[in-house]
Amino acid sequence: MTSGCTDKRLAKLLYAYELGMLDESDRAALELHLLECEHCFARAEKFAPLAGLLRESESVRKAFGGRPVRDTVPHQTVPGRKSASRSSWGAVVRLSLVVAVVLVVLILRPWQLEFRPTHEAVAGENRLVIITFENLSAPTDPGRLGEIVAHLLIADLSESRFLRVVSSQRVSDLGRLLGQSDSAGVSPDLATEIADRASARRLLTGTVIESGEGLRVWSELTDVGSGVVIASQEVIGAPGESVFALVDRLAEQVRADMSLPEGARSEADRPVAEVTTSSREALQCYLEGLEYVERMYRREAVEAFEKAIGYDSTFAMAYYYLAMFKDRTLVDRAVQYSGGASWVEQRYIHAYAAELDDDRQEMISQLRQIVDRYPDEKEAYYRLGLYHWHENRLDSAVFFLQRAIDIDPLYRNAYNNLTYAYSEMQDFANAIGTINRYISLAPGEANPYDTRGDLCASNGDPQMAIESYQQALKIKPDFTVSAFKLAAMYIMLAQNAEADSLLAALRHSPELPVRMLAHYYQPRVLVHQGRFAAALAAIDSTAEAVKEDLVAAGTEEGERAGSHRLKAGIYAEIGNLDLALAEIDSAIAINRRSSPHDSITFGYIRAHYLAQKGDFAGADSIRRSLTAHFDATGEAPCYQYWAAGGIELARGNPGGAAEELQKAAALTPVVSDFQTNYLLARAYLEADQLGKAVELLQRLSSIYHAGRLTNPIDDVKLHYYLGRAYEKSRWNDRAAQEYQTFLDLWKYADPGLESVSDARQRLARLGS
């Protein structure tokens, strides 16, 4: 086990190191050793992906009595070879005799590993890289024929248990890493380097010609180590013969020339059209969609995948991406047609379906099957990172996203989400470094600047956020996600003329959903000014003005529900709880018509209004129904705690309210959940937990997230409550500043607002 190592004692500590079980002294010694010993460094890199997933295993935690294997997850497991800087791990458990037992449990039990020397050895010997074929009939390959041939060949050969075919994504990643803009027409030296970087034993390159007589394909199978051509293949298509049939015949020749063992002959060999799509046009659109996904151009990606579905209504992977970027319910179609997808694609589909069903164990099971068979499958680590990010397990999210980047240092999407994870951890230094790297990888794309805008907005730099969103729009004027964030920034900063101008332009967008959202945003400018009567009139007039567009866009119900919620917030603020309840009831009814299985949205708000009105029996009834829902489904019970917190606050029990709202706040990052934390801060204030109230209100006031405009009234009253928290803390100068900010924002507010009158009186007392 330790042959070739310069220090056998340290080599034996490697697995304990990867699992975070060394004390500080041994950890430091081993990290320095890894910088010097090539043998142990290679072993560490090989074991790291497995170690990462072992730490996430539910059965591993059970083996430790429910405790996590370690308390923190490293940002980088193996230290860099060129730098002696150490990772900032905290030692979790001191190494002892129990480590040997633990490793047996960790490695064998959760993964249920079986020793299959025949298959694993054969797979290692038969690791194959396929480079995009060169289209001799059209060197620019506008129809992606060369890419399609390689993609189909990879899909076909990957079904064999006796082959390990490097994914087309991995080939493309390595090509870009080596300076190739795409993998078509790469030089022989670069193709060999790609294969070598992928640890492949064999390399397949080829050319294709398409003419009126049909398709013709030539390919060569090369031994990577020696550079010797082992065999060549040629397939000539009959007139009208599809590229799918041609690839089936070519794959048969490649299998024969790979000298696979006898067992390979008994494997089922499905036609390639049965593990992807049977439509060349659909596949072309799908590959185009993947490029848009990489660039975060969701609208264009959705259009490409919808075109693919238009050519092939059973294309499972096109539904998979549409479920992610357009309509989650389409995952059912992806599952329905998953039998027509490849082995690895089926696992991605079922992992995503399990995630939407909140079946964490099944999702992780599907993804770990992928990395077990394909250790360099970055997408699996990326998906695990996203899952943990959405679950607010930020350390784990950073770990998995960093793993994806370790596999592909040019992985733009991983850098994108790693920036958000660091930001939500308030690790601004790492967030800045990550976003700068992302921008350097894609300086001509809009999304990196949009992400930088979000980073600055969430960390108290609204002007830089505005400049970043403007830069994104300069690169791509129809990148409307940045346009609406920019509008939100203008509203929050009371730059009302700029907000009105931008929203007016968006209301004339050629895209119906954009026009609808612009109409939906417009009344928020008035609400943010405290001009409630004008806002109510604007909401009603907007509904009539855009009714035809709403029906045409198929979004009438959803937009109307949001408008009713906004009106409910206005009525609650002016003390008309009967009308507030009527509006929230309308929102609930509309939402249930469009989403019959959704029984919880807006319910917690209704519980708040009932409690404020004094109907605690009705409010508690809603809270109990929410509790039953979350107990039955196993979903994160954020709304349940929200309802309970609001009820206790209305009862005059702010301490109890804070306890409930703390549970809700723990489920989501502060950055993306303004409303929960705003209510929690109010509970702290009423409970005289002034240190917590001031700290949380200050944090919220520095986060210019668009979520603050879910209820624009709260965005403004944040300053009023921060003023009260300062005043109670006897920080009178700061209190006066916040009261003045609040009054300036609502200088044109409707008369008679209680909070405005109270702020004026408090400011006058402080001044005297």
Tell me: the pLDDT tens digits for 71-108? 333 333 333 333 333 233 233 333 333 333 333 333 33
Q: Containing H/E element for 230?
A: strand 229-236
Q: Assign 702 to helix, strand or coil.
A: coil
Q: Which of 387-391, 686-690, 725-729 has the lowest mean pLDDT?
A: 387-391
Tens of pLDDT, residues 515-527: 888 888 889 999 9
Residue 29's pLDDT is: 63
User: What is the mean pLDDT of the segment spanning 354-376?
Assistant: 88
pLDDT the model gives residue 117:
34
**pLDDT over threshold 50, residue 591:** yes
> Would you say 340 and 275 are in contact if contact means Cβ atoms under 8 Å apart?
yes
**Are 173 and 270 contacting, i.e. CB atoms less than 8 angstroms apart?**
no
Please choose, from the candidates 662, 379, 713, the residue with its C-alpha nearest in 3D space to the C-alpha of residue 527: 713
pLDDT of residue 101: 35
**Looking at the predicted structure, is the pLDDT value of residue 746 above 90?**
yes
Give the model's pLDDT for residue 93: 31
Span of 45-49, 200-204, 654-658, 682-686 with lowest mean pLDDT: 45-49
**At which residue do the structure tokens 């493309």 appear?**
172
State how far the Cα of 499 lies from the Cα of 108, in Å rounded to an integer.
59
- The predicted structure's pLDDT at residue 114: 32
Average pLDDT (331-342) is 94
Nearest C-alpha neighbor of 316 from the set 290, 335, 292: 335
- 266 vs 610, more confident: 610
User: What are the b/e assignments for 69-79, b being 16+ CB within 10 Å?
Assistant: bbeebbbbbbb
Query: Quick one: DSSP state of residue 235?
Result: E
Tell me, what's the pLDDT at 15? 55
pLDDT at 50: 47
Q: Stretch 209-224: mean pLDDT, rounded?
A: 90
Please count the other Cβ atoms lying within 10 Å of the Cβ belonging to residue 415: 25
For residue 111, name the pLDDT band (cuts at 50, 70, 90).
Answer: very low
H or E segment at 524?
Answer: helix 512-528
Residue 644 structure tokens: 């309970």
Sign (positive or negative) of CA dihedral 346, 351, 356, 359: positive
Q: What angle do CA 401, 299, 317 make, to 5 degrees?
A: 65
Residue 615 has a CB neighbour count (10 Å cut-off) of 16
Q: What global pTM score does this model have?
A: 0.72
Rounded CA separation 373/120 (Å): 9
Which domains, ranges and CATH numbers included, belong to the chain?
A: 8-108 (no CATH), 117-274 (3.40.50.10070), 280-458 (1.25.40.10)
In contact, 742 and 720? CB cutoff 8 Å: yes
Contacts of 501 (CB under 8 A, 6+ apart): none
d(CA 209, CA 135): 6
User: What is the pLDDT, as a whole number, of residue 759?
Assistant: 97
Please give the structure tokens belonging to residue 738: 């916040």
For residue 350, what pLDDT is reported? 96
3-state DSSP assignment of residue 171: helix
Assess whether pLDDT exceeds 50 at residue 568. yes
Residue 451 has what pLDDT? 96
Residue closest to 153 by CA, chosen among 171, 132, 174: 132
- Mean per-residue pLDDT of the chain: 83
**Residue 361 confidence (pLDDT):** 87
Decide which of 185 and 213 is more confident. 213
For residue 641, pLDDT over 50 is answered with yes
CA–CA distance, 570 with 563 (Å, rounded to integer) = 11
pLDDT computed for residue 636 by the predictor: 67
Residues β-bridged to residue 165: 128
Q: Between these two residues, 277 and 51, which has the higher pLDDT value?
A: 277
Q: Which two tokens stand for residue 469?
A: 């969103």
More confident site: 25 or 221: 221
562 or 398, greater pLDDT? 398
pLDDT digits (tens, 9 = 90+) for 461-514: 999 999 999 999 999 999 999 999 999 999 999 999 999 999 999 988 888 888
Q: In the structure, what pLDDT confidence band is assigned to residue 207 with cuts at 50, 70 and 90? A: very high
Please give the single-letter amino acid code of residue 412.
Answer: R
Long-range contacts of 541-546 (CB under 8 A, 24+ apart): 545/519, 546/515, 546/516, 546/519
Question: Which of 169-178, 240-249, 520-529 has the weakest average pLDDT?
Answer: 169-178
pLDDT at 37: 66
Q: Residue 19's pLDDT is what?
A: 53
Tens digit of pLDDT for each residue in 40-62?
666 665 555 445 444 444 444 44
Residue 554's pLDDT is 60
Across 244-271, average pLDDT: 87
Question: Left (φ > 0), alpha (ψ -120 to 50) or beta: where does 66 sit?
Answer: left
User: What is the mean predicted confidence (pLDDT) over 711-735?
Assistant: 96
Q: Give the C-alpha separation, 271 to 332, whole Å.
A: 24
Which of 54-68, 351-365, 414-428, 604-618 shows the lowest mean pLDDT across its residues? Answer: 54-68
The residues that bridge with 128 in the sheet, in sequence order, are: 165, 202
